[in-house]
Amino acid sequence: MATPVVAGATCSLDDYLAMPDYSMDDRIAAAREALGETTVLLGHHYQRDEVVRFADFTGDSYKLSKIAAETPAKYIVFCGVHFMAESADVLGRDDQQVILPDMNAGCSMADMAEISQVEACWETLVRAGLGETRVMPLTYMNSTAAIKAFCGERGGLVCTSSNARKAFEWAFARAEKILFLPDQHLGRNTAFAMGIGLDEMVVFDPWQIGGGVTAEKLRVAKVILWKGHCSVHQRFLPEHVDHVRAKYPGIRVVVHPECRWEVCQKADALGSTERIVAEVEQAREGTMFAIGTEIHLVNRLAKEYAPKGKRVITLDDTGCLCTTMYRISPGHLAWALENLVQGQVVNRIEVEEDVKHWARVALDRMLEIRG
C-alpha cells in the first residue's frame, strides 16, 4: 500500500538518502498519482532501473529534447544530467519549470568544454584567418547551454548522435569548415563516414597554447575537433572487439559513435542509444550482440530480449557505468516529487535569458533537421 504524502511532512534530502532504495517505491508512486498530468517524468536510457521504470517517457537526449519541447505539463522532472535539464528549460514554455532530482548529475564530456575556452579557441581561428564566413560551430547535445548559445549566435546548431551527419551536411552547405564541440570521437566518426579523411581533421586542445595546432593546419583542415570525450565510451578498445569475436564467432558488435574511431571501424554497426535499441529489437531470433555503451542500457536489453531468443552482452566485461547518470536515486526522485506535491520546487534548472535565446536558436535548428 502506498505511503500517503502529507503536506509539510517531507524530510531533508539526507533523510531520504539514508533510507533503502526499495522503501521509496510506494512514495514515488503516490506522489506521481497526486501530481497527475501537471508533471512529466523523463528518463534517459542510462538511468538505473530503479529510477527509469517510473518515467513517463524514456529515450536518448534527442528524443527527450523533443518531448520536453512538446509536453503540456507544468513540471518536467528530468532524470538525466544537467545539460539535458538545461535543454528542456531552453525549449520549454515560460510557465514550465524543469527539475533535476540531483544537481550533482553532470556530464564529464560537457565539462570538457568551458565557455571561456571556446571563446579563446574562436579567437585563435580568427587570427588564423578563419571566421564566421568560413567556420561553422556545431556542438553535441552533451554541452552546456552557454556552448549551445555560442553556436547559435554564430550561425551554428546543436546535434545528437542520431542526427550528427545531417548536422554536418547542413553546416557544410553553409561554410567551408566545422568546429565540432566537445566530443572528438563523434565528430571524427561522423566526418569519416562522410568521406572526410583523418588527415583532413585536427584536434584542438584547449589546454595548449593555440590549441596545440599550427595556423596552417587549421587553415587546411575541414573539421576541427575539440579535445573532449565520453569517459564511458572511451573505455572501449579495439582489443575488446577482437576478444568477443574470438570468443563468440558470429556475434554482432554494435557500438555508440562516441567510441574511438578504431573501435567503430571494427564494429558491425554504430549508432545512438535509440539505434542500438532498434538493432536488437529488429534482429532475428538467435542473434547475439556485444554492445559498446553504458552498462545499464546493455543489462536492460539483455533482460528484455532473453525471452525472445536474443543474447546481449557488454563489449567490455568490466562494465562501463556512467557514474553521473547513476547519481539520481529513488531517494532523490521521491524527495523532488514529494516537494512538488507540497507546492515546493526544488533543484529547478533555469537558464539565463540571454543564453536561453541563442541556445534555443541552436536547438530549434537541430529540431528542424530530421535524424
- Could you read off the pLDDT of 107-124 as tens digits, one per residue? 888 889 999 999 999 999
**Confidence at residue 6, expressed as pLDDT on a 0 to 100 scale:** 45
**Confidence at residue 8, expressed as pLDDT on a 0 to 100 scale:** 46
CA distance 221 to 176: 9
**Confidence at residue 132, expressed as pLDDT on a 0 to 100 scale:** 65
**Confidence at residue 3, expressed as pLDDT on a 0 to 100 scale:** 47
pLDDT, averaged in runs of 10, over the chain (371 residues): 47 86 93 95 85 89 80 93 89 92 86 94 93 88 95 94 94 96 97 97 96 94 96 93 97 97 97 92 97 90 96 86 75 95 94 95 85 52
Rg of the chain (C-alpha set): 21
C-alpha cell at 48: 538505473
Q: Give which of 61, 268, 66 is closest to 164, Cα–Cα.
A: 61
Structural domains of the chain sorted by starting position, each given as residue range(s) with its CATH number in brackets = 13-107+325-354 (3.40.50.10800), 110-230 (3.40.50.10800), 233-314 (3.40.50.10800)
Q: Give which of 63, 94, 99, 96 is closest to 79, Cα–Cα.
A: 99
pTM above 0.75, yes or no: yes
Residues 274-315 pLDDT 10s: 899 999 999 999 999 999 998 888 998 999 999 999 999 999
Strand order in the sheet with 252-255: 269-270, 252-255, 288-292, 311-314
**Confidence at residue 248, expressed as pLDDT on a 0 to 100 scale:** 97
